[in-house]
Amino acid sequence: MARVLNNLLLFLIRLALKIRVWGYWTLIYGYCALCTTAALLKLCWNIVLRPTTTFQWGIRETPPACLNDTSLGTHCYVRIKESGLRFHYVAAGERGKPLMLFLHGFPEFWFSWRYQLREFKSEFRVVAVDMRGYGESDLPLSTENYQLDHLVTDVKDIVEYLGYNRCCLVGHDWGGTIAWLFAIHYPEMVTKLIVLNCPHPSVFTDYALRHPSQLLKSSHFFFFQLPRFPELMLSINDFKALKALFTSRNTGIGRKGRWLTAEDLEAYLYALSQPGALTGALNYYRNVFSSLPLSHKHVRSPVLLLWGERDAFLEQEMAEACRLYIRNHFRLNIISGASHWLQQDQPDIVNTLIWTFLKEGEGRKSYRN
């Protein structure tokens, strides 16, 4: 009788797990279909309104002058033997000083850290990387090449090939996700972790599944699972959607922030208009659902989390919840009026808060700005 009950219990547990997995993927594919329908309607409406210009966009042939500004640093390349990939990065500050490594988000590239490169080169060897698939770094074609473990290994390889065994790691958006994961898996290589507008991956997963409002704000995760169609939607009307991400009232840099100049915006269009560039950036999303949940979650490095109050994509409640997974000093600053593009929106405040975190002792309580 006991054996029968045990077998029944095991059966029910397995059945519940299968139902949960089935429900998870049903939610994902169902939401993908919904987002696709909305995008198709938007495309049709664009064709009606702009029949001659909807499918017109151009590759920017010449980089704007701001990308060759020598005050930002020197353009360098490193080829990683293990992966065979070549990475582009911009570096400043004396060699031999502590390494501060910057990881950008979507849809950005090294240039998003221009204010921080200038600020921290006095005390650090500052390096802003074009992550795989972005900018002048190599662009693997297969979506499998953008699995999270590959992206984390890229960071480890770059740190080591720069001649370091540890760094102060700074990440924003997708770069923040990779920074969290790197600190989880290689705690000995992270002296301090600084993340901008990106929750701990486990916090994001748990919160999004329980809060439909966040699921709605994350609808692009589902839409980007489709092949080719997202690239088209981001390209039509000469990359109008990309421009809107940085400049619109809802998602762009806040009213109090430093607006992107025309040249800054052209720098982004130069990088993202190149053949295959949008596919490389979108491939980060096309592996994310198969990589979660995490098996290891705790961060053992000191952590500074900076959060723009007006983030249009991420709800603020996730910021405080990150504390659950940090086994060291944790400081949280929520910056009033700032957007998702925090290090460009409010660079002076961001830089001051980073300096404070770098110079302070551990064990003090977090505070809000």
Q: Write the CATH number for 103.
A: 3.40.50.1820
The type of residue at 134 is Y
Task: Give catalytic status of residue 173 as yes or no.
Answer: yes
On whether residue 45 sits in a domain, the answer given is no
Q: Domain span at residue 205? A: 65-210+286-359
Say which residues have a Cβ less than 8 Å from residue 90's Cβ, sequence separation at least 6: 72, 73, 74, 75, 76, 110, 117, 127, 128
On whether residue 148 sits in a domain, the answer given is yes
Catalytic residue selected from 173, 264, 311, 345: 173
pTM here is 0.89
In contact, 156 and 189? CB cutoff 8 Å: yes
How far apart are the C-alpha atoms of 71 and 291, rounded to whole Å? 39
How far apart are the C-alpha atoms of 85 and 37, rounded to whole Å? 37
Adjacency order of strands within the sheet including 86-92? 74-79, 86-92, 125-129, 99-103, 167-172, 190-196, 303-308, 330-335
Catalytic residue selected from 285, 325, 329, 345: 285
pLDDT at site 16 = 63
On whether residue 117 sits in a domain, the answer given is yes
pLDDT at site 352 = 98
How far apart are the C-alpha atoms of 15 and 20, rounded to whole Å? 9
pLDDT at site 35 = 72
In contact, 324 and 332? CB cutoff 8 Å: no
Catalytic residue selected from 89, 104, 340, 345: 340
On whether residue 140 sits in a domain, the answer given is yes
pLDDT at site 63 = 96
On whether residue 107 sits in a domain, the answer given is yes
Task: Give catalytic status of residue 138 as yes or no.
Answer: no
The domain total for the chain is 1
On whether residue 197 sits in a domain, the answer given is yes
In contact, 162 and 180? CB cutoff 8 Å: no
On whether residue 119 sits in a domain, the answer given is yes
pLDDT at site 201 = 95
On whether residue 277 sits in a domain, the answer given is no
**pLDDT profile of the chain (369 residues), mean per 10:** 62 61 63 75 82 86 96 97 94 97 98 98 98 97 93 97 97 98 97 98 92 90 92 95 93 79 96 97 91 82 97 97 96 96 96 96 44
Task: Give catalytic status of residue 325 as yes or no.
Answer: no
